[in-house]
């Protein structure tokens, strides 16, 4: 395998850490540069198992700093970018949209421009180069809940269980018109447009994937699943937005990382691929699975933590249903999820219960103080 210098942004975050780990372990001939600004969501402890690998390097930097991006890309002779760094939490975007525009839009633009300038300066220009942008299904907007009780899902994959349900007739396909509703999804939509514009205008080799909700180890406990596992453990209320009827399509994070690996190596330039497991869950049903799994693993009686469910005011502009049609990726590149949802959720709950120290650390903010002092000279 030829050597490559790959810049992975956001590698200290949830999905990024799984992508970095996969690439570092699977491709010893690649140099993997993890670029992350270590915001509240970035945590180098997520990568402690590979931090000393000879093909791994961490760089603390802000993607919105164009000069720094230019320097890092040039110095490391980057030929591939896998861009995950972002502000990623919808509720935060409702409170502070500006940081989402800065990081997700301006940051992506700075990274694109820096890669373009470096690749333009090389004799072989865009040959064997790729700027791969990781995006979300939220850019497509919301689907209707036409089957509120659920009907047998028309498509299945390993990720979906045998009695999996679909809650509507429509699915997001790669050509679905963008219709973002939250400041988060608006900023991601904008960044997707810039990535495609750099291909269409300058011929830069870019590619975009849009994935559904991920779950698994190392997710910051502000997102539904780790937040609720942590709250159940500590007998805290579980804030269910609205009636808990919103539907999300859940994929185990390692299956997303495997898709990213496949698409980075085999995907067609300028294409878009949707990634998802045909695994729709109503929030309230998913929450009940999480509660019963945590209770069982903690040795609590069945139904013990159900009383923690607390219905709260809905998220403003709360998208009703997301459901990804990933058949293009399955047909063209042969990807499929490796893990059934029941196995994935069991693994995930176990991981959080066994990593109480990790949860404590990221919720106390201690790790942030530690890294702030570690990089104070920059
Ligand atoms: P995350 O919030 O866990 O991690 C984001 C990482 O980006 C953190 O390590 C953070 O420190 C870093 N970062 C933030 N601002 C930065 C900046 N200005 N410069 C450098 N680094 C910065 O996010 P995640 O859930 O792992 O999502 C990763 C990517 O995948 C995002 O682009 C997100 O939009 C996309 N995505 C997420 C999901 C999901 O379910 N979590 C689904 C589909 C797509
Ligand atoms: O669809 C992909 C997206 O999934 C990613 O692009 C985002 O980065 C990621 O955060 C996620 O967005 P969601 O808003 O779907 O995820 P979240 O975990 O915040 O919420 C999942 C569902 O649960 C959503 O319908 C809101 C609801 N919810 C969430 C929280 C945090 C609650 O009912 N209570 C809560 O406390």
**Tens of pLDDT, residues 98-156:** 999 999 999 999 999 999 999 999 999 999 999 999 999 999 999 999 999 999 888 88
Non-local (6+) Cβ contacts of 376 within 8 A are none
CB burial readout 59-79, b (16+ within 10 A) else e: bbbbbbbbebbbebbeebebb
Q: Which helix (H) or strand (E) holds 195?
A: helix 183-202
Q: Which two tokens stand for residue 211?
A: 């994935």
- The band of 357, judged by pLDDT with boundaries at 50, 70 and 90, is very high
Asked whether 14 lines ligand 1 (CB < 6 A), one says: yes
H or E element in which residue 24 lies: helix 14-26
pLDDT at 154: 87
The verdict on the CB of residue 8 being under 6 Å from ligand 1 is: no
| CB neighbour class for 310 (10 Å; exposed up to 12, middle 13-18, buried from 19) | exposed
CA 206 to chain centre: 18
Q: What is the pLDDT confidence band of residue 59, given thresholds at 50, 70 and 90?
A: very high
CA of 65 relative to ligand 2 center, distance in Å: 29
Taking the CA of residue 211 as reference, the ligand 1 atom at the shortest distance is: 43
Q: Tell me the percentage of the chain whose pLDDT exceeds 90.
A: 91
1: pLDDT strictly greater than 70: no
CA of 185 to the centre of ligand 2 (A): 12
- pLDDT over 80 at 371, yes or no: no
Average pLDDT of the residues in 315-336 = 97
Per cent of the chain over pLDDT 70 is 96
Instruction: Tell me the β-bridge partners of 248.
Output: 281
Q: For 351, phi and psi rounded to 5 degrees?
A: -60, -45
> Using 50, 70 and 90 to split pLDDT, how confident is the model at 18?
very high
Place of tokens 């453990």: 233
* Structural Rg of the chain based on CA atoms: 20
Please list, in sequence order, all residues whose beta carbon lies within 8 angstroms of the beta carbon of residue 313, skipping any fewer than 6 positions away.
241, 242
- pLDDT of 345 > 50? The answer is yes
Query: Could you read off the pLDDT of 232-271 as tens digits, one per residue?
Result: 999 999 999 999 999 999 999 999 999 999 999 999 999 9
**Residue 330, pLDDT above cutoff 70:** yes
| Ligand in closest contact with the CA of 322 | 2
Distance from Cα 256 to the centre of ligand 1, integer Å: 13
Instruction: Confirm or reject: Cβ of 72 under 6 Å from ligand 1.
Output: no
pLDDT on residue 158 = 86
> Which residue puts its alpha carbon closest to atom 19 of ligand 2?
223
Question: Rounded distance, CA 285 to CA 342, Å?
Answer: 13
Q: Which of 85, 79, 42 is nearest to 63 (CA)?
A: 85
The whole-number pLDDT of residue 378 equals: 47
Percent helix, strand and coil across the chain, each to the nearest 5: 45, 20, 40
| Catalytic machinery residues | 137-138, 184
Residue 10 CA to ligand 1 centre (angstroms): 6
Q: Which ligand is nearest to the CA of 287?
A: 2
For residue 259 and ligand 1, the question of a CB distance below 6 A is answered with no
Q: How far is CA 368 from CA 38, 134, 216, 357, in A?
A: 8, 25, 22, 14
CA separation for the pair 328, 263 (Å, rounded): 12
């Amino acid at each position: 395998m030829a050597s490559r210098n790959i810049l992975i942004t956001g590698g200290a975050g949830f999905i990024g850490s799984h992508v970095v780990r996969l690439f570092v372990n699977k491709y010893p001939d690649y140099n993997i540069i993890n670029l992350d600004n270590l915001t509240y969501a970035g945590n180098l402890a997520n990568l402690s198992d590979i931090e000393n690998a000879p093909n791994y390097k961490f760089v603390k930097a802000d993607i919105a700093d164009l000069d720094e991006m230019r320097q890092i890309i040039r110095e490391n002779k980057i030929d591939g970018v896998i861009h995950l760094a972002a502000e990623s939490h919808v509720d935060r975007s409702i409170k502070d949209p500006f940081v989402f525009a800065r990081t997700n839009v301006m940051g992506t633009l700075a990274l694109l421009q820096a890669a373009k300038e470096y690749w333009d300066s090389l004799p072989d220009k865009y040959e064997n180069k790729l700027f791969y942008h990781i995006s979300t299904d939220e850019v497509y907007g919301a689907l209707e809940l036409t089957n509120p009780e659920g009907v047998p899902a028309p498509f299945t994959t390993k990720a979906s269980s045998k009695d999996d349900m679909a809650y509507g007739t429509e699915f997001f396909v790669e050509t679905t018109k963008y219709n973002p509703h939250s400041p988060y999804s608006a900023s991601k939509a904008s960044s997707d447009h810039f990535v495609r514009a750099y291909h269409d205008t300058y011929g830069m080799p870019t590619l975009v994937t849009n994935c559904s909700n991920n779950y698994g180890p190392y997710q910051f406990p502000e997102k539904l699943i780790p937040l609720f596992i942590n709250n159940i453990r500590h007998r805290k209320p579980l804030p269910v937005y609205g009636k808990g009827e919103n539907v999300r399509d859940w994929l185990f994070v390692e299956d997303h990382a495997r898709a990213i690996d496949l698409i980075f190596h085999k995907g067609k330039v300028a294409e878009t691929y949707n990634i998802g497991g045909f695994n729709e869950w109503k929030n309230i049903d998913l929450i009940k699975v999480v509660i019963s799994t945590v209770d069982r693993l903690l040795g609590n009686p069945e139904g013990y933590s159900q009383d923690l469910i607390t219905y709260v005011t809905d998220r403003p502009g709360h998208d009703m249903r997301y459901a990804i049609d990933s058949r293009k990726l399955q047909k063209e590149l042969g990807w499929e999820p490796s893990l059934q949802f029941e196995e994935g959720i069991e693994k995930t709950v176990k991981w959080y219960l066994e990593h109480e120290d990790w949860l404590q650390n990221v919720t106390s903010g201690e790790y942030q103080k530690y890294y702030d002092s570690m990089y104070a000279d920059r």
